[in-house]
Structure 1
C-alpha cells in the first residue's frame, strides 16, 4: 500500500491532470458521471506510475492539454470524462 504522502502526491496529480483537460472531478462526481471509488482507483493507479516527476514537469509547464499523455495510467478514464 502506498504511503499517505505518496497518495497525496498522486491525488494532486490526478486532480491537476483532470483540470488541465478541463475536467472538474468534483463537479463530475456531483453529476454522477464518476464515483468517489473511481476517483480513488485513479489515484491508486497513478501511484503505481514509475515516473511521477515527468507528469509533474508536464503539468507545471503547460497551460492546458488536449489529451492525457500516452503513459498516463488514467488516460482512458480522463478521455471518457472529457466527452
Structure 2
C-alpha cells in the first residue's frame, strides 16, 4: 500500500474514532483515566483493523448522540465500560 493511501486510511479511521467517542459521550471518562494513553492506543489499534469504516461513517452521519456504539464497532465494549465508570462515579458522588 502506498504511503499516502496508508496515511489517508489512518486519518479517516482516526476521525471516525474521534466522532464515535463524542457521539457516545465518553471523552471525559476516557481522558480522566490514569491509563488513558494506553486505553486510547488500544482503541486506535482496534479501529485501524476494523473492516466496517463505511458502515461506521454512515451510522455516525445518522447519529449526533447515541447511548451506545453499534454492535459491529470494535470498541463497543470499551465504550460500555467507560459509560459504566461514568455511572459508577456519578453514583459515588450523589
Q: Would you say same fold, with TM above 0.5? A: yes
Contiguous gaps of at least 5 residues in structure 1: none
* Number of corresponding residues: 80
Task: State TM-score, norm by structure 1.
Answer: 0.80
Instruction: Mark the CA change 1:6 to 1:70 in structure 2 (over 3 Å): closer, same or farther.
Output: same
1:11 matched to 2:14? The reply is: yes
Instruction: Mark the CA change 1:35 to 1:61 in structure 2 (over 3 Å): closer, same or farther.
Output: same
Instruction: Select the structure with the greater relative contact order (CA < 8 A; seq sep ≥ 6).
Output: 1
* Displacement over 4 Å in runs of 4+: none
Partner SS state of residue 3, structure 1: helix
In angstroms, what is the RMSD of aligned CA positions?
A: 2.0
Partner Cα separation in structure 2 for residue 33 and residue 76 of structure 1: 19
Bigger share in helix? 2
Task: State TM-score, norm by structure 2.
Answer: 0.72
Q: Is the 8 A contact 1:69 1:75 kept in 2?
A: yes
Contiguous gaps of at least 5 residues in structure 2: 85-94
Structure showing greater Rg: 2
